[in-house]
Structure 1
Amino acid sequence: MKNEENIIVGISIGDLNGIGGEVVLKTFEDVRMLEFCTPVIFASVKTITFLNKHFDFKLNFNGINHFNQIIHGKLNVFNVWNDKFNIEFGKEDAKIGEYAIKSLQSATKALKDNNIDVLVTAPINKHNIQSETFNFPGHTDYLAKELEGNSLMFMVSNDLRIGLLTDHVPVKDISKHITKKLIKEKLDIIYQSLEKDFKIRKPKVAVLGINPHTGDNGVIGKEDDEVLRPTLSEIRNKGRLVYGPYAADSFFGSKNYKNFDAIIASYHDQGLIPFKTLAFGKGVNFTAGLNRIRTSPDHGTAFEIAGKGEADESSFKEAVFTAIQIFKNRNEFEELIKNPLKNRPKKI
């Protein structure tokens, strides 16, 4: 089992014209963070030196070209490139998008090769990353292809966890995507994640309806009655504690979400609007269902404040802590599976 005192956190730098670089460096300006992990930023010494100077940080870091050069207890910067280029805060730039993808691809390879233990991704701009060689809506879809497993976008905070049946799907196509097979797959991922990644036994999960008022007995759509309800009934009959579908409009205002270990929303905004309202700045985007751990902050590039020193690093810091904790929880779970008698109480 990996020595948990030296967990290596790989960091993809995201869009350098946004706030990603700022929140990454602000997080590790607090030297206490180096007691919890060993960070490795995938960028270049030149780039990080520029950011360090621009924001008047006093960070010391270790530039590396090979992973055997990592120094524990220091901020490490892996040289993905040596190019010189202009960072123009707040500007959408296709060239900057290319460097965001170079960072992500290099960090993902390091994760697959076990050179880092977990991956935390700074925000990218979904438009300027598109190219002939990279055609994904975002991190989640790319990582689902690169890493083994079936991914699920899982937004997590202290007492709130929201997973999505569909994520980056146009509203007009949502009902086409929600099938019996998809519901079973996503619920299976969420149950396994709650047990393995969050140490919750017999988790209780609520599912939000597809249509307003869960269709009002077919008056506002038939998907809830014909697809969602019968599938949830099948899952319940197999012993899992899954409830719903619930009408989404009143579910959070009534605080009903507090009665469950996780909630599954049918589509992106149905889940992310309440999540970001209740947990913004402290929430974390976790890609559940993969054989490796990836988290990110709950915000985007925020071009409007980029370069001004105003960005709040709280969510990025939470993403680091969450990745570390999930790594530890998975280690414990795997150890328990290997040695099921280890934690049994002794007979007196």
Structure 2
Amino acid sequence: MSFNLSNFGYSKLSTKVQIIMEENSKIRLGISIGDLNGIGCEVALKTFEDSRMLDFCTPIIFASNKTISYQMKELGLNIVFNGVPDASKAIDNKINIVNVWKEIPKIEFGQSTEEGGAYAIKSLKAAVEALKKGDIDVLVTAPINKNNIQSDEFKFPGHTDYLAQELQGESLMFMVTDTLKIGLLTDHVAVKDVSAAIIPRLIRDKINIIEKSLMMDFGIRKPKIALLGINPHSGDNGVIGKEDDEIMKPVIREMANMGHLVYGPYSADSFFGSDGYKKFDAILAAYHDQGLIPFKTISFGQGVNFTAGLDKVRTSPDHGTAYEIAGKGVADESSFKEAVFMALKIFKNRTEYQELTKDVLKKQRLKRER
């Protein structure tokens, strides 16, 4: 049976998306709950408060029955859920809660606490293990606090770095909507270290990842990619810095000669204001804020953080813990909902791509055997 998401009022991201579902084969969507003192639980629960969302996937939240019940009471939500011991026992057409812990953690809305960070990581680790085992098909992560998650057991600046270690492939932080896609050469790297981190091999690797993702995850057959310069005005021919001339441009020429549609480096200050980004399928920014400031300015609330390049699909909303409104029941779930739809869309596109690739390889093998 075919469902068009726009028929249910979800048209921003999903006008062209159709989630194809067969009997007993819904996509199993795992959710790590993020910082318990932030808005993660709220936006996840609000997303599935609309029962029509259960037509598209089977949600599996990694937390505990008691924690979710407490959050619902405090937020004034009334949602029926199904508690399960592990993700493999999840039931379709229900909101499933995997009981990762039995104790009742202390929740202090709006506060950054060590306990809030510890339970965010417990949820994330359990969800990633389920993803690796195949008990869930895709993962949507609610926001964490990069400070209070740090411990002897977890020393990563964020989700992306942890997932890169746990899952197969080379990761790319890829901020996406249907009309704007921005990847990062360097993500959680201090500005003073950016230039030293950008070496020819890194540029080649990130171009290859973003190109493959555009083809496999978004159905773009021949992607056209723009690279933003490292320095102001891309160095102004060496006046403001030599990195663009000596590192970026040679790699771009090399890859263009190999048939890749890569262009640049473009001066970042005018690239978005002049609508230059609309001429490309994706943009590769040199560092975090160079890419995320224009992305969030143009697409905030509709954008999705997708970890491209891995063998599993993970998305997240484009906002943080939002402590300032946590526990007040006023958080907007739009970006989390878009992250859900994007994960489903990518999973479907990737499955179809892999099937098509298998068919092509099979035909090539049969042709050689004749």
Is residue 189 of structure 1 aligned with residue 213 of structure 2?
no
Alignment partner of 1:285 out of 276, 289, 305: 305
Q: Tell whether the 8 Å contact from 2:172 to 2:183 is kept in structure 1 after alignment.
A: yes
What is the TM-score when the length of structure 1 is the normalising length? Answer: 0.96
Q: Secondary structure at the match of 1:197?
A: helix
Cα distance in 1 for partners of 2:24, 2:278 equals: 31
Structure 1 residue corresponding to 2:288, chosen from 265, 268, 271: 268
1:60 aligns with 2:80: yes
1:158 to partner: Cα distance: 1.9
Pairs aligned (count) = 343
1:114 maps to 134
CA distance in 2 between counterparts of 1:295 and 1:266 reads 21
The alpha-carbon deviation at position 5 of structure 1 amounts to: 4.7
In structure 2, what residue type is equivalent to 1:328?
Answer: K
**CA distance, structure 1, for counterparts of residue 61 and residue 357 of structure 2:** 33
Q: Which amino acid counterpart does residue 98 of structure 1 have in structure 2?
A: A
Work out whether residues 76 and 329 of structure 2, in 8 Å CA contact, stay in contact via their aligned partners in 1.
Answer: no
- In the alignment, the residues of structure 2 paired with residue 68 and residue 162 of structure 1 have an alpha-carbon distance, to the nearest angstrom, of 35
- Deviation at residue 216 of structure 1 after TM alignment: 0.4
Matching residue of 1:171 = 191
Deviation at 1:53, TM superposition (A): 1.3
Q: Which runs of 5+ in 1 are unaligned?
A: 344-348
> Which sits farther off after the overlay, 113-122 or 332-341?
332-341
Post-superposition Cα deviations, 1:156-198, rounded to whole Å, max 9, x if no partner, equal: 0120000000000000000000000000000000000000000
- CA shift, 1:66, in A, is 2.9
- Please give the per-residue CA displacement for 1:214-235, whole angstroms capped at 9, x wherever unaligned: 0001000000000000000000
Quick one: which amino acid aligns to residue 257 of structure 1?
Y
Q: Please say which of residues 119-128 and 1-10 is displaced more in the overlay.
A: 1-10
* 1:4–1:328 Cα contact (<8 Å) kept: no
For 1:161-310, list aligned pairs within 5 A. 161-310=181-330
1:155/1:275 contact within 8 Å kept: yes
Identity between Structure 1 and Structure 2 (%): 65
Structure 2 equivalent of residue 23 of structure 1 = 43
Amino acid at match of 2:285: A
Q: 1:157 aligns with which of 165, 177, 182?
A: 177
Q: TM-score scaled by structure 2?
A: 0.91
Pairwise CA distance, 1:3: 7.3
- 1:50 is aligned to 2:70: yes
Q: Extract unaligned runs of 5+ from structure 2.
A: 1-20, 364-370
Task: Give the one of 161, 177, 182 matched to 1:141.
Answer: 161
Offset at residue 2 of structure 1 (A): 9.1
Show structure 1 runs of 4+ deviating over 4 A. Answer: 1-5
Change (3 A) 1:66 1:4: closer
Query: Which residue identity lines up with residue 43 of structure 1 in the other structure?
Result: A
8 Å Cα contact 2:84-2:90 kept in structure 1? yes
